[in-house]
Amino acid sequence: MSDPLVVLGPRTPALPLVLDSPHSGHDFPGDFGAAVSEAELREGEDCFVDELYAAGPEMGAPLLAALWPRTYLDPNRHAGDVDLDLLEGPWPGEYRPSGKARVGKALVWRTLEDGRAIYARRLSAHAVKQRIERFHAPYHFAIQELMENSMKKFGRVYHLNCHSMRAVAGKQSDDGEGNRRPDFVLGDRDGTSCDPAFTGFVRATLMAMGYQVKINDPYKGVELVRAYSDPKAGRHSLQIEINKRLYMDEASLQKSAGFAVLQKNLSALLREIKSFI
């Protein structure tokens, strides 16, 4: 894979808004070496999320998208969030566990949602470090650069960290297997990653469209929301989780008739956000 990511729209934003989609890629690196099929490895994918927010780049807000699959390496983890049970030998780098390794969903995934092992072997520390250098580091450098460009131009930045979620919680989900999820979940890490007024505005805008919206339940936001946010300094990061039932068939990984409707409504949301910020 020549380039693991893409920036859609201008690198210097026309408004103080930056979007990123860390989990919508499915270009499989040649050294993946998984023991399960590519179709099974796409279960962690936030399918079409980059496309849903196409209005962002069109209005001058850059959208950063990872092109590789989340199951290979999750950019929404700290580089030190290494799953020691996946490694062959000791880990020589920084170790900052988040607890996600407990269910095999740390920096490099060890298991699928049903608990099956992704690999038939352990990975060397060298192989994991290579993934960090080739995929994780460039992604984090890119999001920081885009946010910094907004800060330099406007003195503030509003960062939307864009995701989608299963309609119903799976076996390893924090909110309990079988739990039906709302249309949207907004995550601001309990009001610490962005101005709560911004979270409230986004929620009110979506609810006015008829959507069911929850805040920080069950998703509060992870590394990409935490790492570069500082509301007091004008750096606001908000995670947006969209229920997949609104726009796709989870079994076939195909768009549904709802895709166009949702894309139109997200375009309207971005226009409202433009007026807010």
Q: Give yes or no for a contact between 75 and 102, defined as CB atoms under 8 angstroms apart.
A: no
pLDDT (tens digit, 0 to 9) for every residue of the chain, 277 residues total? 679 999 999 999 999 999 999 999 999 999 999 999 999 999 899 999 999 999 999 999 999 999 999 999 999 999 999 999 999 999 999 999 999 999 999 999 999 988 999 999 999 999 999 999 999 999 999 999 999 999 999 999 999 999 999 988 666 667 667 788 899 999 999 999 999 999 999 999 999 999 999 999 999 999 999 999 999 999 999 999 999 999 999 999 999 999 999 999 999 999 999 999 9
List pLDDT tens digits, range 73-108: 999 999 999 999 999 999 999 999 999 999 999 999
- Domains with residue ranges and CATH for the chain: 5-276 (3.40.630.40)
- Whole-number pLDDT of residue 169: 67
Residue 124 β-bridge partners: 88
Angle at 165 between CA 73 and CA 46, to 5 degrees: 45
CA distance 271 to 267: 6
CA atoms within 13 A on the CB side of 241: 24
CB crowding 62-79: b at 16 or more within 10 Å, else e = bbbbbbbbbbbbbbbbbb
Give me 147's structure tokens. 């946010």
Q: Give yes or no for a contact between 81 and 106, defined as CB atoms under 8 angstroms apart.
A: yes
Residue 58's CB is within 10 A of a number of other CB atoms, namely 13
Q: Quick one: how far is CA 275 from the chain centroid?
A: 25
- Whole-number pLDDT of residue 2: 74
- Closest CA relative to residue 8, chosen from 146, 163, 159: 146
Residues in the chain: 277
Alpha helices in 155-257 (DSSP H): 196-208, 223-226
CB crowding 228-245: b at 16 or more within 10 Å, else e = bbebeeebbbbbbbbbbb
Q: Give yes or no for a contact between 237 and 223, defined as CB atoms under 8 angstroms apart.
A: no
CA distance 29 to 68: 7
- Whole-number pLDDT of residue 171: 66
- Closest CA relative to residue 226, chosen from 216, 241, 238, 215: 238
